Structure formats: C-alpha cells, structure tokens
Structure 1
Amino acid sequence: MTMLDRMRRHRNWLKWSLGLVVLAFVIFYIPDFLSNPAAGTGAAAGDTIATVEGRAITAGEFRRTYQAQVQAYRNAYGGAMSEQLLKQLGIDQQILQQMVDERAALAEAARVGIDASDEEVRQRILSVPAFQENGAFIGEQRYQQLLRAQRPPMTAGEFEDTVRRQIVVEKLRASLTEWLSATDKELEQEYRRRNDKVKLTVASFTLDSLRKDATASDAEVASYFEAHKETFRIPEKRKIRYLLVDVDALRAKVVVPAGEVERSYNGNIDQYTAPEQVRASHILLKTEGKDEATVKAKAEALLKQAKAGADFAELAKKNSEDEASAKNGGDLDYFGRGRMVPEFDQAAFAMQPGQMTSELVKTEFGFHIIKLVDKKPATTRTLADVRQQLTEQLAYETATAQATTLADTIATEIRRPADLDRAAAAHGLAVQESGLFSRDEPILALGSSPEATVRAFAMKSDEVAGPIRSSRGFVFVTLTGRQDPYVPKLDEVASRVRDEVIKNKARELGRQKASEIAARLKNAPDFEKAAKAAGVEAKTTELITRDAPLPDLGITTTLGEMAFALPVGSVSGVVETDSGVAIVKVLEKQDVTPTEWLANKDRFRDEFLTDRRNRFFSAYMAKAKQRMRIEVNRDTLQKTVG
C-alpha cells in the first residue's frame, strides 16, 4: 500500500475485522439515502439473515452495515453510484459474505479460547479519533449522543459489541499468523522480481491474426475429436419452470409525479452536491524509525529551497518519500475534505492556489511541504439537470417495492409445483420454461441470478424455490428436467472441435513464421526494420515489470521471465504464449539499486508479510468453515435489502 493510500484510508482495518461500522464513526453522519419507505423494510430488525455455529446475523445489523457501505461508495463515487447499480453489482451478497466470515472467525476464536477483555474494548474506543477532543475522551454523554445520531441509531452496547468482535478477530489472526516471517534474502528477491524493469521490442504473431489462414477439414476435425473426446464432455444440465415477477415490466407502468421527484431531490440534495475540492502537491519525509530532528532539519532545508523558487516538482521527485506521488512531482490530484489526515487536510484547505505552506506540516507519517495547485468550489446540480435520472431511479424503486410486495404475496400461495400456474393466473403473470443449462451457464431468460442456478442444482423435482432475486426481479422455480453428463457425438460439438483444430493450426503457423525470421532478427542491426521487411510490425514497450502486458499478447509470464533473463541487446528465440508466438529484443534494463532496496525494505517487509499472513488466514478460515454449520435465510436477506 502506498503512503497516499494510507493517508486516504486513515487506518488499515483488517479485511476480517469488518470495520464498516467503526468507519461510520469517523464520518459521524450517514445520510438517510435509503429514504424510500418501501425499500429495505420487509424484515424486522431482529429477524435472522444467517447463523454461523449458532451466532446470528440479524437484519438490523446487516442493514446498518449495508447502509454504511453504500454511503462509503457514494462518498467515493458521488450520487451516480445508485443503490440500484450497487445491487446489480452484488454488494449485498459481498457484505453478507464479510459478515459470515467475521462470525466464522469469532466461532473459531471461541473454540481456541480467544476473547477480548472489557479493558481492551475500552482502550480501543478511547483511541478512535472521533471520540477525542484535544487529545482527551469526549465524555460518556457526548459518546452516547453520537451513537444515537447514527442512522439507524446505535446503543453503546451495540457499538461496543462490534469493537469487541473486531478485537477478537484481530487477536485470532495474530495468533495464527504472527509466526510467519521472511528472510532478508527472500524479501529482496521478491522486491526485485516485482520492481526490476525491462524495455523490449516485440515482434509477434497472434493467434487471432493467423486464424484466417488456417482451415480444418472434416477428416481433421473427426480425428481430433476421437483423440480428445473427454475434453468435450457435456456436464450435467437441468431445466426449470419459473414464474418471474419482472421489475422492468412493472416499471414501464409506473408514473412518477413531478412533486415526488422534487421532494426526493430536496430530501437528498447531498447526492447532487459536489463538495469543495483542492488539488495539491507535497513533499513528504517520513519519520518512522528515524531521528525526528534529523528528518525535520532536512525538510526545513527543502522548504527553504522551495520558497527560494526551486522547481517544486523536481524537489518532490528527488526527495519525497511518498512513492505514489513522488514520480508525479508530488501531485496528489483533487481531493475533498476528510480524505487526508486532519493536519494535512487543514493546511491544504486553508491555502489559495499557488500558495505553499510557510512552515512544515507534521502528521503521523512525517513532515510535509504542501503546495496548493487548484481549488474547486462546491457545486450543486440543479433539479433540471437530474430530473430524468431521478425520475428513472424513483420509478425503479417504486417498481422494486411493488415487485417485493407481489413476490411476498405469491410466496404465501405456492407450496408445490402445481401452485405456480394458479398463482400466475391470479396475478396476470405467466409460467415459462427454460432450456437446459449447466452450473456454469446463465439461465438466459432470468438475467444474472447465480442463486437460481445453485438452487436448481440442489432441488428435487417436487420442490419449489423462491422468491429468488435476479437482475430482472424475483423468481420462483421448480425442476422439470435433468440431463446426466455424457460424451457427445461429434455433430453436437463440431463447431467447438473445429475451432480448437483451427487454433492449433494457427499456433503452428505462427511457430513456423517466427522460426523463419528468427535468424534474421537475431543478428539484425535494426530489429524493427528487419521485422518490417519480414512483414511483421515490431512494437516497443516502455520500461515494464514482469507482470505488465506486452503489445498484442497481453500478460504472459513465460515471455516476461525469459526477457528478464536475457542480457541487454540480445534477441530471444521463438517464445510461445497463450495468445501467440513472439521474438523479443531487450533494449534496456533498470534493476532495483541497493539504495532503492534499502529505502523500501521496511515498507515492503510490512506489505509482503501482511499479504502472506492474509493469505494464510484466509486459507485457514476456509478450511475451518468447512466443519461449521452455516445457514443463510435468503428470503430474509431479500426482504431486508428490497
């Protein structure tokens, strides 16, 4: 993580800690963006959405976390990030998975005897910046007032339980992963692998460009199929009858009154307001692990140079220890209030464009010299600007609420497959039948609905499942057919087999063409000119790392590793990749210097070990969850989010 990322996030909450609710107390205000009375009110706060080893996740807990996460997206991306879009992206499922993961971690912690004391909870709460004023706790009365100001309100007990869970998960993770380490040699090798760079000229023959010259006879297709039948095995497939409550069909009938549009606009004006923003550049000298007086003296010398008229961008490139911005001359781009740590924030917004801080700015990261580049005032989009967007949003919300109510009603009317037809007739809907689909194929008429596929492959023929959420609305399904996996006849998969034969021929053709010119390119004084004479356009990269995409070929580990092994000026042999074949010439190399490695060693150690420990913890918990009883009530979830 770069220094800028850390400044913007303020604190590196662990993935498994589920710090979303605590994040709300850094913001201290969650606008009531879910103000539509029909949305998300179908489940009572105490209803259970999921249980993990008997530990419940209630609708109230989920709704609070969901609202905090949606608001976080709104803060980051503005009003254009609508709740509708977030639902289509599956944010509700992701949040539920996070909460299930947290409960699983708590269950595992209890199993191994890890808990959090009242004193640990107290100290953690006292350390939250939002509960401090002039370095001291704000007091019990204001603490509880701030909790009640949240939407939905929180009691002190609820918040403290959240903090306690967070501490327990952190302690579990530490107990499982703190032993993981890395030697200096291992760290340096990995740092160099990620950061060494090379500049290449690439002459490639892509499979896509060669397919037009490749053909496959019927005999070749038949022969290939006989030799590779298992490759084309058809997996198990199923088909269903389904009753769809289509949101789009309902939305087409919704008329949104102009007054409702205006009320919604006025009630959610924050969504259409872009806050004041500034663009700043900075030079950072870190103090962590260093003598602060020495660092400050160096920073003051740089400030003196900047005040004397030295090029700020050049000073930043040469001296700033914020790796992300230094290469851009210290440029941090535009940011709003609250995106940086408080000391930085206050200094940046107090200046006018062209001004520079008269004194060093001290933050938890070190000493900053800040120059303000530009300032944008707060702006508000007018009702006329957003009327069409808002009308469509309200129509969708109304239609979704209608669909939810209708789906809930139908759910009470359906107990067995035959009930689908009666319910459809009663509500002017139609029962339809899907084609066969596999586990990896979408059910085309339903839109995106992974859950419908999962339920279809888990159910018996006399069962009905639903309502299930899909991108088109709510659906009830019953199983009507099952096709066992089998090896097909050639006629069924002839196009797939032919495509595979052509792809293999294209690869062989590319191999031949590359081999024909390899000797000429290897000794050519001008690689690009020789490639062009051979009918190939050679393309030159910038300085790139091993994992960077190559022109026309994309990311290819094999070619990347080979290129780094060659000396400057040398030309490779023919190298095959997933997307074609290539010959490359190494033009330049930029290896990590000893000075650069030493400067980044401590930061990279933290980054490397955090990643290693996260992966270990994730693998450990994945295995632990296999022996846990985890139950999810999808109906309650759907009623909660609408």
Structure 2
Amino acid sequence: MLESIRESSQGTIAKVILGFIILTFAVAGIGSYTNTVDTSVAEVNGEKISQSAFDKAYQAQRNRMAQQFGQMFDTLSADSNYMANFRNGVLDNLINEKLIDQSTNDLAIRISDQRLKKTIREMPEFQVDGVFDNNRYLAIINQAGFFQSSDFRDYLRVEMSRRQLSQALVVSEFNLPYQEKMLSSLQNQKRDIRYAVIGAEQFKADMSVTDEEINSFYQENQVRFENQEQVKVDYIALDVNELAKDIQVSDEDIASYYQDNIDNYRTVEQRRLAHILVEFGDDEAAAESKAEAVLARIKQGEDFAELAKTQSDDTFSGENGGDLDWIEPGVMDEEFDKSAFALAEIGTVSEIVKTSFGYHIIKLTDVKPEKTTPLDELRDDLRVQISSEKAQDKFFELQQELATVSFEFPDSLDDAAGAVDAQVQSSAWLKRAGNAAPFNDAKVINAAFSELVLNDNVNSDVIEIGDDLVMVLRLNEYKEANVKPLSEVQAQIETELVAKKAAEKAKTVADELIAELKSGKDITAALAEVNSAFEVKADISRSNGGIDGSISREAFVLAHPTADTLSVATTALANGDQALIEVQAVKPGDAEESESQRQQQTSQLAQSAYKSYVDSLKVDAKITRRAVAEPTSIL
C-alpha cells in the first residue's frame, strides 16, 4: 500500500497539486512577515507614536493626577467621559512633543556631547557632598529604567533640545514699559456703580408646575436620579502590622540573628582609586605603547592627576584627576579589581592593567579598612527587623492557608477565618468609586463587583493590596443600579422647577427694567414694586470683596459710560436672583511698577508665544489620530 502511494505521488497531477500547496504556504508566510499590524495611536508627518509610548505617558500622567488629587481623582476616573478627554489630552501632548522634535531637527538644534556631559555632572541628583558620583549616577538612572547610560544620555539630549527651542521662544518675549503701565492701570482701575438685586424668591409663590412638566423633567434627567449599584461584603483581612504586634523577640533571638547575618553589619574594605584609561581604538598596540609612555612619565615624577586630565580617555574621571571615588571589591572589572586591591600603600601606582575597556594605570589614593558594627549599637534596630521578618513569615504562611481554605470551602468565610485565627468583618455599602480605604483600591472593588462574587456567590480569590495587606471577600448584600421612582423625587423636581421659573421671572423683570432705564425713565418706583432698590458703590476694584463676585465681574466687563449712552446690564447670581448693574464712572488706576507683575506679564506673553508656535506647526503638519482606549494595564 505504501509503495502504491509513493508511486502515485510521482505523477504530474500530484506534483501540480503539491506546487499549489507550496505556493500557498509561501505567500502566506511572506504575508505574515510583511503585513505587520499597525498599533500606533497617531502619525505626525510620517512619524508614528507607538501604543507603548502612549501607555507610558498615560500611566505617568495618571500617577501624577492620583498623587495630586487623591480620592477626588478616583471619583473622576469613574467617569468615562472624563477619562476619554483625559486620554485625548495625553495624546495631544505626545503630538505636540513630536512636532517640537521635528522642528528642532529642521532648525538643526543640536546638543553637544560636551554640554551633555557638563549637564549630567552638574545635576544635584548625581552628586554626593556637591561632587559628581559615578556610582550614584548609574544607580539612579537604572532605578529610573535607563539600564544603559547611553539610553539616559539620548533621553536627556531630546529633552534639552526641546528646552532649547522653548527657551529661544520664551526669552525672546518682552513687554514694553507702556504695556506694563497699561496693564497696571487696568488692574488698579476703580469704578463707581449702582446696582439692584431682584430676588427670585418673591416670585415662587406665583409659580405653578404641572404633572406633565414634572414627568417630562424626570424623563429627560434620568441619570440625575439614578442610584448606583452598591455591594456590601463580608471579608477577612490579614495585616502584617497587626501580626507584628503579637511577635515576641528575645535577646537570644537578636544575638543569633546578628551572628547569622554578621556580613550585613560588616563594612568591607573600600579603596579610593584614580586611574588613567587608554582605550584600544583601532590600534591596540599603539594604545599599549601610549599607556607605557604615560606610566614612564609617572615613574619619572610627573603628576598623576595632571596626566589624567590630558591623557585619560575616561573624560569624566579625568577632569577630577582620574578620581573614581570609593570602590569595593567586585565592583570593577576582574583584572582591574585584582590590581587595585593588590596595591599595598597609599600613593602607589600599578603597572599597566588590561581590561575589556582598554589599558589602565591605577593609583591608590585612600583606604577605609573593614569594620564590623558591634551588637549593642544594633540591638534596637535588630529587634524591630526580626519582629518584622517574623511577622512577614507568619503573614506569608497565613496568606497561603487563607488562599487554600477559602478556595476549598467557597460557600463561607468561617472556615478560612478559623484557619488563620481572624475575624469575619462586614463592610459598609460600597460603590464603584469614592470608598474609604482599603475599599478605595481598584483590585478590591473589581473583586467586590466581579462575577465570581456577585453571580457565583463564592469567596473571592486572595486580593493582594500591598506587601503587607491581603483580603478575601464574600457577598453580603447587593443593590442593583436603578432609577429612583418619580414619587421619591417628585418634590425635589417640583422645587427645582419652581426655582427655575422664579429665576426666569426675575430675569424678565430685570430685562424690562433695563429697557426702561435705557429709555431714560426713572425706575426707582418700579424697583420698589419688586422689593428692590439701587445701592451705590464707589471706587470698587476688580477684587472687591464687599459685593457679590458676579456683580463686580460684570461691572468691569461693561463699557465706559458716555454722555449719550448708559453702561448697563443684568447678570444672574448663584442663588437665581438677578442683578441690574449700571457703571456710572470709570477711574484710571495708578500705573505702579512691580517686578513681580512685570515677570508675570512676560511669562504670560511667553506662554502665548510658545502655544502659537506649536499651533503654527500643526497648520502645516499632516496628523493622523486614532481612537485611544483605556490601557489594559490600568485596573
């Protein structure tokens, strides 16, 4: 049979079919390599903004907002419309940055290596006692996510290029003396006004609201009368801090712990070293000859630090005479380490040392001998540390037990509570946002409203709220989201509609009185009929605290009065009342000179100039935006 199949596969028809199959796979294979999915969120003049760049910027901005506004931001983030605008704002910023980067490139704005190096060395974050520390520099940029120093330099170069362009725009802005005086005069301007407040309350008794109006308002504003879904949960909480209160630590425990971890309290020998580096370059033999020549000059008595400044290819350390600061064993290249810690006396210089970086000449400049901190100096700290570690061990053990038992007995928390010696507690009513800790944590709320808890009615998984707190939840009671019945909100709606109609009546009366006033009539009697009268205020300022803010703002919007034209208007107050305002005189303010005001005005002009520049870039740019959804990592 196999022989028959083999013979049949050699035929012409079989080969044609096999050819079609191979061609199909080839085309499909090529397509899989050439037709990659475009996941970018925007494209600016042909340059894409990646989804990962958006996610990173979004997370950073969200963290800043959460840190600044706390629980208020949790409430805002529950609003889908707000978060949609928030995401668009992040994308707008990324598009603006891309336009600025393209502009700096077109303008040939460059940051030299020397300036970049000087900036890094002068950044206080990388200094110890006012001096640049290379080890601190590497540690900080690694912590920030830059695992190669070249990555950080590239990032800083971009930021400095952007700043150079923005500063060029900002520092070129200035305000002239007459502008300063004009602004100061406007800000200090005073006005004489008279105003009358027409209260809306007096019209409420005459206002009536029909059932049809109430029902219509109710139907059009369903969202306002909606009860959010709520859940009440039973829960078990394990807290490291609570467990630590019951931990007892004896002196024997402390002594044993000290001996077991003695290396942690021993400061290893440190050496302060300086070096001169000659990199291999294209000619390793030439580099070795140069290193030998430099070493010969040192042996002849030339100053090591001066030679480091002029001969070392490590320019960072070379500027400081080759100083590498304090170094422990194991930090540097193996051959470097071996030679450096073989130097016997301060001031001695090694022979030439070859590493992967090049040829080194090493000088020992200082030594800190090994030192062990005595137990008595550490006793109190060790007691706290041991207590914390024991609590963490117990916490981890109980967490595993809690996870196991709550899963094995999913229909109750009692078994799990007994297993970990905890109490089952009950929460208050919880909403999707705006709850008190620990129920303000997104992971807790997601679990409380999960299908597992609400629909399956079983225990939740263990929720890790942090390194020191875990919880397991179970449904106690649930309230679905619903619209309050009309009977419950009818009185509220009626009150609101009456207030609205009364405010509209007050506005109508005010407009009629304004028309009479403009026609030259005396409206004193008409005001009295609506329980009002003009009140005169002289020399009010823009920040006048003696009258309602809406009145003073409107007073400074109105035009200057003339012999032929009254300067009058009405404005609504926050409580629904209407104010009728007349500006009677305008008095120019004193043109005071103020350095802070000058700086503020210049800053405003500079911000406006920068915005205008970015807007001008957008005019000629080809920008394609795509809809941005909530990143899936934000939960």
The reply to whether TM is greater than 0.5 is no
Q: Name the TM-score class by shorter chain.
A: 0.3 to 0.5
Normalising by structure 1, report the TM-score: 0.40
Radius of gyration: which is bigger? 2
TM-score for the superposition, normalised by structure 2: 0.41
